[in-house]
Structure 1
Amino acid sequence: MTTVGRERGARRRRGTGAGLLLTAVLTAGLAAGCTTSDGPRDDGRGTARESPAQPGDQDGPPVLAVKIDNAPAARPQTGLDTADVVYTEQVEGGSSRLIAVYATALPESAGPVRSARESDLELLRQFDRPLLAFSGAQSKLNPLIEQAPLEAVTPQSEPDAYTRDPGRSAPHNLYLRPGRLMDDPPGEAALTTGFRFGEPPADGEPRGDLTVRYPAARFTFTWSGAQDRWLVSMDGAPALTREGERLAPATVVVQYVTVRPSGFRDFLGNNTPYTETVGSGEATVLRDGRAWEADWKRPAAEDGTSFTTDSGEPMNFARGQVWVVYAEAP
């Protein structure tokens, strides 16, 4: 750990008892509620909350969000199976990137780590001052990152927290070591996503698989009754951990959103898509081998995202990892 990191960690421990190494303290964003209740197949990711979290409830350490490479050369990734939430988003050329969010457990390593995008800042506003680990960003985006209510963790700000895998070629070989940033995970209270966990609604259609297509990428989720999980495939191939196990969330949310051009382009001149995660729209929720058509709503960036069934009933998720796939609304 760096000397600066130790000093900042000591200050935060005195203030919150959290044991975080922080590199900057930026303007705080309000966070909205996460309601959980006891449900089937609890996988030990945390205890259920009795009531919704409200803005300002999150007084402890923040979540850790890591931008993860999803190019074929980056697979298999490291640490995705430990994340509480995995977000998928469209980037330049119609390909995809992932954001892994950690609250109840930390992996030994996470990556490969890649660069941030403008829409990440809006997405992560639902968490209270999250740590965002990324490899860098284009220079025009840096001022927006500096103004955002988050903690930027890059190889430049925390070099001891990153390592290169000599067995992989750049840029697919940069990995974060979360233990160099946080002594312990912040806990389930930091997951101010608005998600509810509990028993499923009474309806729902039996569903064996679902595929979401981006212009240059696709995700398929196949139900495994033996594992009580949705097995992930990417671009037609099984998505695996470094140990060869299948990635298998308990709940998959396909959230239909507006994807529009941003004011940024990559070095090849391709426009960077902006995924709008504030607003409302439709979604498909997969759990327990069934599918529900749902509505999502996120009134403001500081709010979490709520999901309701067509009948207006709150949509509970299965306990365990959640994947949120942002798909372009038709």
Structure 2
Amino acid sequence: MRRGARTRRGGTTAALLAAVMTASLAAGCSSGGGTAPDDGRGPVQQPDSGTVREPDTGTVAAADSVLAVKIDNSRRARPHTGLNSADIIYVEQVEGGMSRLMAVYASKLPNAVGPVRSARESDLELLRQFEQPTLAYSGAQSKLNPLIDDAPLRSEPPGRTPGAYYRGTDRPAPHNLYLRPAKLMPTVPGATALTTGFTYGAAPAGGKADTAETVSYPAASFSFTWSASRGRWLVAMDGTNATTTDTGRLAPATVVVQYVKLRKSEFFDSLGNNTPFTETVGTGRAKVLRDGKAFDVTWSRPTATDGTRFETKDGTRMNFAEGQVWVVFAKA
């Protein structure tokens, strides 16, 4: 059955994010990670029980809200695990021009996801579109933690829920931290939890034939090649085909290249690199890839609690193809 438009649910929203930090933060997570526990220098030691403890802040995720997992995307972290089960994968630029992924799960949960890495300030604004989402991440810069604690989400770093995380043995730390989603989510949230503003259905008229697109960051690149036989866009990262350890090639049905403002944040890594803030509230242009075509559209997200609306130049809603969606944030 096809999914129709998804709109944001009502209900009480938790307090707004804390005010932006005013002092320049000269120390914190590096482009490859962050402070402990994100440095990954030791195993995540937790009893492998089914007991789930709520975060210390008392924030409880809505029963039908999404699971968002921050994913390491350095070369040493590949191939990934569990990404093909995600409904949406967001791609963002981080320190040093590198990239990180955020995988969002609602329709189904894989047995494992990873490697998991640290959170960024931009994630908090992006996640406001969901009601009380669960954020799984390896840790964060210590001065970012107050913002995470005040955000309307359920924070799940290692050590909070017994048995949720484990260390793999196939690669060195910090690129071997994995999440067992079932330890955090007692039930599958369902597609209605995807309050992103996305709509699915027949493509609008128009579009241009397009079978290959590449988005480049200063130190990372993503290529998408249309496969007519699969009806999907095959992903390559840094010139290498992107595969997973469990379900093969990464191949979304729709790819969105969303042009956004990148500004300097108050945060720096241990090498002095600034952490860019990706502005996902506002308006701008985007390119939507589906069915072997490219559609030039505009995007609009009036407030942080809204989803993002995509429209063609004549105001027609830009429907996505059924299946996984990748949203790649590119500098406007």
Q: CA separation in 2, counterparts of 1:137 and 1:82?
A: 25
Contact residue 52 and residue 183 of structure 2 kept, 8 A: no
1:84 corresponding residue in structure 2? 87
* TM-score, normalised relative to structure 1: 0.83
CA offsets per residue over residues 235-274 of structure 1, 9 Å max, x none?
0000001147210000000000001110001111111010
Point out the more displaced range, 197-206 or 59-68: 59-68
1:208 corresponding residue in structure 2? 211
Q: CA separation in 1, counterparts of 2:148 and 2:275?
A: 16
Matches within 5 A, 1:221-260: 221-243=224-246, 245-260=248-263
3-state SS, counterpart of residue 226 of structure 1: coil
Contact residue 52 and residue 162 of structure 2 kept, 8 A: no
Contact residue 5 and residue 23 of structure 1 kept, 8 A: no
1:112 to 115, 120, 128: 115
3-state SS, counterpart of residue 280 of structure 1: strand
Shift of residue 60, structure 1, vs aligned partner: 4.0
Q: CA separation in 2, counterparts of 1:90 and 1:108?
A: 27
Shift of residue 61, structure 1, vs aligned partner: 2.3
Q: Does 1:292 align with 2:325?
A: no
CA offsets per residue over residues 157-214 of structure 1, 9 Å max, x none?
1241000002210110000000111122100110000000000001110001100000
Q: CA separation in 2, counterparts of 1:25 and 1:300?
A: 25
3-state SS, counterpart of residue 124 of structure 2: helix
Q: CA separation in 2, counterparts of 1:112 and 1:264?
A: 23
Q: CA separation in 2, counterparts of 1:117 and 1:243?
A: 27
Contact residue 27 and residue 147 of structure 1 kept, 8 A: no
Point out the more displaced range, 60-69 or 118-127: 60-69
Matches within 5 A, 1:124-135: 124-135=127-138
Shift of residue 23, structure 1, vs aligned partner: 6.3
Task: Give the number of equivalent residue pairs.
Answer: 287
3-state SS, counterpart of residue 258 of structure 1: strand
2:75 corresponding residue in structure 1? 72
CA offsets per residue over residues 10-63 of structure 1, 9 Å max, x none?
xxxxxxxxxxx76654399xxxxxxxxxxxxxxxxxxxxxxxxxxxxxx74210
Q: CA separation in 1, counterparts of 2:270 and 2:130?
A: 30
Q: CA separation in 2, counterparts of 1:24 and 1:63?
A: 19
Shift of residue 301, structure 1, vs aligned partner: 0.3
* TM-score, normalised relative to structure 2: 0.83
Q: CA separation in 2, counterparts of 1:163 and 1:92?
A: 26
Q: CA separation in 2, counterparts of 1:245 and 1:272?
A: 32
1:268 corresponding residue in structure 2? 271
1:26 corresponding residue in structure 2? 59
1:323 to 310, 322, 326: 326
Contact residue 67 and residue 133 of structure 1 kept, 8 A: yes
Contact residue 122 and residue 277 of structure 2 kept, 8 A: yes
Contact residue 83 and residue 101 of structure 1 kept, 8 A: yes
Q: Does 1:312 align with 2:299?
A: no
Identity value in percent: 61
CA RMSD of aligned residues (A): 1.9
Shift of residue 7, structure 1, vs aligned partner: 6.5
Contact residue 80 and residue 100 of structure 1 kept, 8 A: yes
Change (3 A) 1:111 1:102: same
Q: Does 1:160 align with 2:148?
A: no
Q: CA separation in 2, counterparts of 1:7 and 1:245?
A: 31
1:98 to 93, 98, 101: 101
2:280 corresponding residue in structure 1? 277
Point out the more displaced range, 84-93 or 183-192: 183-192
CA offsets per residue over residues 58-80 of structure 1, 9 Å max, x none?
x7421000000000000000111
Question: Which letter does structure 2 place at the counterpart of 1:248?
Answer: A
3-state SS, counterpart of residue 215 of structure 2: strand
Name the structure where helix makes up a greater proportion of residues: 1
Shift of residue 309, structure 1, vs aligned partner: 0.5
Question: Which letter does structure 1 place at the counterpart of 2:108?
Answer: A
Change (3 A) 1:202 1:135: same
Q: Give 5+ residue unaligned stretches, structure 2.
A: 1-45
Q: Does 1:143 align with 2:161?
A: no
Contact residue 228 and residue 250 of structure 1 kept, 8 A: yes
Q: Does 1:187 align with 2:220?
A: no
Q: CA separation in 1, counterparts of 2:246 and 2:137?
A: 24
Q: CA separation in 1, counterparts of 2:56 and 2:165?
A: 14
Contact residue 67 and residue 106 of structure 2 kept, 8 A: yes
Q: CA separation in 1, counterparts of 2:145 and 2:274?
A: 17
Shift of residue 3, structure 1, vs aligned partner: 11
